[in-house]
Amino acid sequence: MGTLELIVLLSLLSLGTDAYGIPIRDEIHRRIGRNISFGAVYVTLQRLQGKGLVESRTGEPTAERGGRAKKFFRVTKAGRQAVDHSRHAIEAMSAGLQEARGAV
Amino acid sequence: MILSWATRILSSLLPEEDAEAVVGDLCEEYEHRSKAAGPSVAGIYYLREVCRSISAALRLRAVEVVRKAPWGVAIGSYLLVGVSQIGLTLMLSPIWPEVAQTTSAWGIVVVTPVVASIAYVAAKLNRVAPFFLGVMMFAVAALLIVATTETISTGYALSFLVLGLLSAVLGGSIPCPRQRP
């Protein structure tokens, strides 16, 4: 799983069920200061959906969106497992890094 | 006017299912920024975001086209097999003349791993494309066997018929490590 995919998955988990493009992008910007385009957010979400890590549903159209509907995303069980797997790998490798630094 | 055209361009680049979501998000952001900082600032923001999203939208469109067109991937793979076969024959024939002969079993042996490798890559783009590639190879091999005026052995004909299909399907079945979460 790529870094951006992991970041988007983590933002979806922290946002809960009503996550769509704007809150996802804002959450990423708020947490890590990275300003991602909507296009990039949706490319990543489509990749994650293709892997079965997220699922989507279409909301109701609203006037402030020019009559367009929101597309809500949520993390699947496989997505949660993928996040746990990645976090475990990062923690294990980080521990190794600390050991190496301690040895120097 | 400019915003309307920018929206049309972006919408035309996006797959239908995502166009509504992306453009809707942009409109919502435009409304918020327009109320907070005025329409000019919001318009500049909108145009900048559209430009940033276009490259991502093009990638999204490419993914959708590939996902929905296994035959496209299979035909591309088949052409790649042909080009690779010609390249390999040209490269190897000075040192290994048997490879260049049209009914040489060595020619099939050399091409088989190439087909499997191309099918492996094709499977990353579209999971069923290797199967289509195999069917194409089988069909073309059958046509060539029927149409040839050369005398060929049954063993050669059978291996020519089956190995392309088998190597494409097997190459496409190799699990992709990057897809594992």
What percent helix, strand, coil does chain A show, rounded to 5? 65, 15, 15
Q: Touching check for B55 and chain A: CB below 8 Å?
A: yes
Of A77-81, B43-47, B174-178, the range with the lowest mean pLDDT is: B174-178
How confident is the model at residue B60, as a pLDDT? 65
Q: Which of B9, B12, B22, B61 to mutate to test the interface with A (most CBs of A within 10 A)?
A: B22
The widest CA-to-CA distance across chain B, in whole angstroms, is 82
Closest residue, chain B, to A46 (C-alpha): B60
For residue B149 the two structure tokens come to 């005026």
Name A69's bridge partners. Answer: A61
Q: What is the DSSP string of B112-172?
A: HHHHHHHHHHHHHH-TTHHHHHHHHHHHHHHHHHHH--S---HHHHHHHHHHHHHHHHHHH
> B48 pLDDT exceeds 50?
yes
Domains within chain A, CATH numbers bracketed: 3-103 (1.10.10.10)
Distance of CA A24 to the CA centre of its chain: 7
Q: Touching check for B26 and chain A: CB below 8 Å?
A: yes
Of A36-40, A68-72, B146-150, the range with the lowest mean pLDDT is: B146-150
> B181 pLDDT exceeds 60?
no
- When pLDDT is averaged across residues B136-146 and rounded to a whole number, the result is 87
Residues of B in contact with A65 (CB under 8 A): 24-25, 27-28
Nearest to B26 among A38, A71, A78 (CB): A38
For residue B11 the two structure tokens come to 């919408």
Q: What is the DSSP string of B69-116?
A: -HHHHHHHHHHHHHHHHHHHHHHHTTT-GGGGSTT-HHHHHHHHHHHH
How confident is the model at residue A29, as a pLDDT? 94
Confidence category of residue B151, pLDDT binned at 50, 70, 90: confident
How confident is the model at residue B177, as a pLDDT? 59
Could you tell me which of B80, B87, B63 has the C-alpha nearest to residue B136? B80
* pLDDT tens readout for residues B22-31: 889 998 999 8
Closest residue, chain A, to B4 (C-alpha): A66
Task: Give the separation between CA B118 and CA B123, rounded to whole angstroms.
Answer: 9
Residues of A with CB under 8 A from a CB of B: 1, 20-22, 25, 37-40, 42-43, 46-47, 50-51, 53, 62, 64-66, 68-71, 78, 81-82, 85-86
How confident is the model at residue B99, as a pLDDT? 66
A:B CB pairs within 8 Å:
83
Confidence category of residue B53, pLDDT binned at 50, 70, 90: confident
**Distances from the Cα of B147 to the Cαs of A103, B133, B141, in angstroms?**
72, 21, 10
How confident is the model at residue A6, as a pLDDT? 93
Q: Quick check: B57 and A50 CB within 8 A?
A: no
Burial class (CB in 10 A: 0-12, 13-18, 19+), B134: buried
> B178 pLDDT exceeds 70?
no
Name the percent of chain B lying above pLDDT 90. 4
Task: Give the separation between CA B78 and CA B72, rounded to whole angstroms.
Answer: 10
Confidence category of residue B149, pLDDT binned at 50, 70, 90: confident
How confident is the model at residue B179, as a pLDDT? 45
Q: Where are the domains of chain B?
A: 2-67, 69-179
Which residue has better confidence, B8 or A70?
Answer: A70
**For all residues of chain B together, what is the average pLDDT?**
81
* pLDDT tens readout for residues B60-74: 667 767 767 788 888
Residues of B in contact with A47 (CB under 8 A): 63
Task: Give the separation between CA B80 and CA B115, rounded to whole angstroms.
Answer: 9
Please report where in the chains the tokens 């959708």 appear, as a residue: B64
User: How many of the other CB atoms lie within 10 Å of CB of A101?
Assistant: 8
Q: Touching check for B126 and chain A: CB below 8 Å?
A: no
- When pLDDT is averaged across residues B99-125 and rounded to a whole number, the result is 81
Q: What is the ipTM of this complex?
A: 0.82
